Structure 1
Amino acid sequence: MGIIWTILIGFIAGLAARALLPGKQAMGFILTTVLGIAGSLLATYLGQAMGWYTAGAGADFVASVVGAVVVLAIYGFIARRR
């Protein structure tokens, strides 16, 4: 159930991260959602590696939004360089 919760929170976190990031992003709803889920998974696994979360527990909403902002910013930087 932990991974499903992480994906659900990642979906919402991706939308929140897109609203928080300044500037115009040229990506659609689905890509924003996928990158948000990736950010949530990143926050979950980094949190588990650092001992903040127990095994099987997902990251909270704030950590997921931060992870999603990081992933969206990295994507924006890479996409801009092409």
Structure 2
Amino acid sequence: MLGLIISLLVVGLIAGFIARAVVPGRQHLSIPMTILLGIIGSFVGGFLGFVLFHHDAMDGFFQPAGIIGSIIGAIIVLVIYINVGGRRRVTR
């Protein structure tokens, strides 16, 4: 169980960091928020992979396709976050 949590955090950090590097502009996210971005991106990427390919890989987290799907999911989540978060800002 501890290994699962650590691997989830590591994959989340890597996917979130790469997503933040790929998406242009400045994102005001802390390291825990970057990890959360990557974890949510992993779920989004896994869901999209299941919907597109109708195949659920049960071989563990550290697969090239799983990490790439996590990065793509994190990019999608970050773009949505920027677009939704940008509308709520109040300028004075």
Q: Please give the TM-score of this superposition, normalised by the length of structure 2.
A: 0.70
Match of 1:47 in 2: 49
- Which protein shows a greater Rg? 2
Q: After the TM superposition, which segments of 4 or more aligned residues of structure 1 sit over 4 Å from their partners?
A: none
Instruction: After TM superposition, give the deviation of residue 46 of structure 1 in Å.
Output: 2.4
- Aligned pairs, number: 80
Structure 2 unaligned spans of 5+: none
User: Does the alignment pair 1:79 with 2:75?
Assistant: no
Q: Please give the TM-score of this superposition, normalised by the length of structure 1.
A: 0.77
Structure 1 unaligned spans of 5+: none
Match of 2:20 in 1: 18
> d(CA) in 2 for partners of 1:74 and 1:13?
16
Whether contact under 8 Å (1:10, 1:40) holds in the other structure is yes
CA RMSD of aligned residues (A): 2.4
